[in-house]
């Protein structure tokens, strides 16, 4: 019965003008994010978006979604690894990164902030290239060596720390 009650409340909320305005902003923000990412040379699985999510396809860059998503997290940007159509990598690594805009829209961010976020994502992808090549994971020994040394070097890189500081500053302007 609690599921039925929860669905009833959700449906009632979704029927309000405020929710419709909010969800329109979520989609608008994600469309700006998608357009800007593609303008920065990042390929999207669907070449755009019409909802709250997008998936960056890193196959052409021969990069691992797992490593990029981890670096984005260290920079303060939440994303997760994802497989993409035709992915040669196993799901644990994936060649994609999934992102969405509901949480940042809830904080009050708009297209202006999506452009800043896009710039940071593109910077992180460039920064991660030397650490994220698919050849890094061809053998168990290579994966172990990466986990011990490369991860620490990437996490402590001055560029990543600078981006993290900028992300934190933006988030402080849009408190939860």
| pTM (whole model) above 0.85 | yes
Residue 53 falls in which region: left (phi positive, over 0), alpha (psi -120 to 50) or beta: beta
**pLDDT tens digit sequence for 83-136:** 999 998 888 889 999 999 999 999 999 999 999 999 999 999 999 887 766 555
Q: What pLDDT score does 141 carry?
A: 53
Domains in the chain, please, with CATH?
20-173 (3.90.1150.10)
d(CA 43, CA 58) in angstroms, rounded, equals 7
Nearest CA-CA partner of 54 in 113, 85, 99: 99
Q: Are 102 and 26 in contact (CB under 8 A)?
A: yes
| Residue 14 Rama label (left phi>0; alpha psi -120 to 50; beta) | alpha
Q: How far apart are CA 118 and CA 91, in angstroms?
A: 25
> Tens digits of per-residue pLDDT, 35-79?
999 999 999 999 999 999 999 999 999 888 988 999 999 999 999
């Amino acid at each position: 019965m609690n599921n039925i009650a929860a669905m009833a409340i959700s449906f009632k909320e979704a029927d309000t003008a405020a929710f419709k305005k909010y969800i329109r902003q979520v989609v608008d923000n994600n469309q700006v994010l998608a357009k800007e990412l593609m303008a920065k040379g990042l390929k999207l699985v669907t070449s755009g978006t019409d909802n709250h999510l997008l998936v960056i396809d890193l196959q052409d860059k021969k990069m691992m979604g797992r490593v990029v998503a981890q670096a984005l997290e260290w920079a303060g940007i939440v994303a997760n690894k994802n497989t993409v159509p035709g992915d040669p990598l196993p799901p644990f690594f994936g060649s994609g990164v999934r992102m969405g805009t509901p949480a940042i829209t809830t904080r009050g961010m708009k297209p202006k902030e999506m452009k800043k976020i896009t710039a940071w994502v593109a910077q992180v992808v460039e920064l991660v290239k030397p650490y994220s090549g698919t050849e890094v994971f061809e053998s168990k020994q290579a994966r172990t060596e990466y986990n011990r040394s490369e991860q620490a070097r990437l996490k402590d890189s001055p560029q990543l720390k600078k981006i993290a500081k900028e992300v934190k500053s933006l988030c402080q302007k849009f408190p939860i």
